[in-house]
Amino acid sequence: MNFGFVIPTGSRASKEVDVAIIGGGPAGLSAGIYATRAGLNAIIIDKGNAGGLAEEAPYVENYLGYKGIKGEELVKKFKEHAVDYLEISERNEVREIIKEEGTYLIKAEKGDYRARAIIFATGTTHKNLGIPGEKEFFGKGVSYCVTCDGYFFRGKKVALIGGGNSGAIAAIYLKDIGVEPIVLEYMPRFMCEKAYENIIKERGIPYHTNVQVTSIEGSETGEKVVYKDRATGEVKEVEVDGVFIYVGLIPISGLAKSLGVETDEKGYIKVDLKMRTNVPYIYAAGDVTGYAGQIIIAAGQGAMAALSAYEDLMLK
């Protein structure tokens, strides 16, 4: 058994910094390293554990230098690297940001921080499907996190709604720990990388395409998933012990919006190629910008945002 110890970081003192990085996923951690190396005094503030959604990825097979690594382990390496440079304040939710003359006052759970610039690396969270039964059976068979809850379904059958990369990885992980997943994908084709498609086929994981899930039904727990075959219109159902939902992500951009930062219609923060937003001294990086939702891209964007902050704060 691998006990995989996770070490907490961050003190609880209020402080003044050049740049506050909100969110400690790959974008935020990378921004922290670049900002500090450039000479900026920075802090990373995260409402949970540093790591972001990457922590939930059972496997990562497309980050340069790693042929295959658990998301949790990759993030641990990122975090260990970043913590050599700057404070990462975990379990410290930012409640409010107030613009004051020349600075921002960031009011968080563990203290107040004053910053000249802010990088929003707030990421995304799981999207709900919005079908009957989803809310009612949440925690009673419906889940959004296979690494958290997969073990409760060992030896049982579950529906995995959404066959994109996250859903495909989740299905493979479930199969590996002894769960029998069946993937239900809305589009008429495999929506994950070819590499995952191959594994799904190799392991004999059923992957149904062109189906629209319409409800989750049951008495005490979610016991049945009802779906429509989009080609024929036929309504079908599958009996399961649990349902995992991986139908996409929504950006966490409320705080940025409160400062006048522009977002697109879906709520993703609009940035230029240098990760600047429409508001001076505010930058965004990572999944909250709506790019590919890839760890390597988030890390690159974080670096870019930090370099832009350095340019604006120190070279102008």
* CA–CA gap between residue 249 and residue 164 (Å, rounded): 11
Exactly one of 220, 265, 315, 316 binds other proteins (CB under 8 A); that residue is 220
Write each residue from 69 to 88 as x if it is in contact with other proteins (CB under 8 A), else as -, in one continuous string.
Answer: ---x-------x--x-----
Minimum CB distance to other proteins smaller for 40 or for 169:
169
CB 57 within 8 A of CB 106: no
Cβ–Cβ contacts within 10 Å for residue 299, how many?
25
Tokens coding 229: 């075959």
* Least distance from other proteins to the Cβ atom of residue 195, Å: 23
Residue 207, strand partner residues: 183
Q: Please, is 99 exposed, middle or buried when counting C-beta atoms within 10 Å of its C-beta (0-12, 13-18, 19+)?
A: middle
Stretch that binds other proteins, among 138-146, 208-216, 227-235, 256-264 (CB under 8 A): 138-146
Judged by CB under 8 A, does residue 37 bind other proteins? no
Least Å from the CB of residue 56 to other proteins: 6
**What token pair was written down for 219?**
């008495």
Residues 227-256 within binding reach of other proteins (CB under 8 A): 242
Helices (H), the chain: 26-38, 71-83, 146-149, 165-176, 194-202, 254-258, 295-314
Instruction: CB nearer to other proteins: give 85 or 138.
Output: 138
Closest to other proteins by CB, 4 or 102:
4
Q: Does 14 bind other proteins (CB under 8 A)?
A: no
Q: For other proteins, which stretch binds (CB under 8 A), given 146-154, 160-168, 249-257, 269-277?
A: 146-154
Which is closer to other proteins, CB of 18 or CB of 56?
A: 56
- Min. distance of Cβ 136 from other proteins in angstroms? 12
Q: Can you tell me the distance from the alpha carbon of 205 to that of 129, in angstroms, rounded to the nearest whole number? A: 22
DSSP assignments along 232-300, one per residue: T--EEEEE-SEEEE---EEE--HHHHHTT--B-TTSPBP--TT-B-SSTTEEE-GGGGTS---HHHHHH
Q: What's the closest the beta carbon of residue 140 comes to other proteins, in angstroms?
A: 6
- Residues in contact with other proteins by CB under 8 A are 3-9, 11-12, 48-49, 51, 55-56, 72, 80, 83, 90-91, 93, 109-110, 138-143, 145, 147-149, 151-153, 220-221, 242
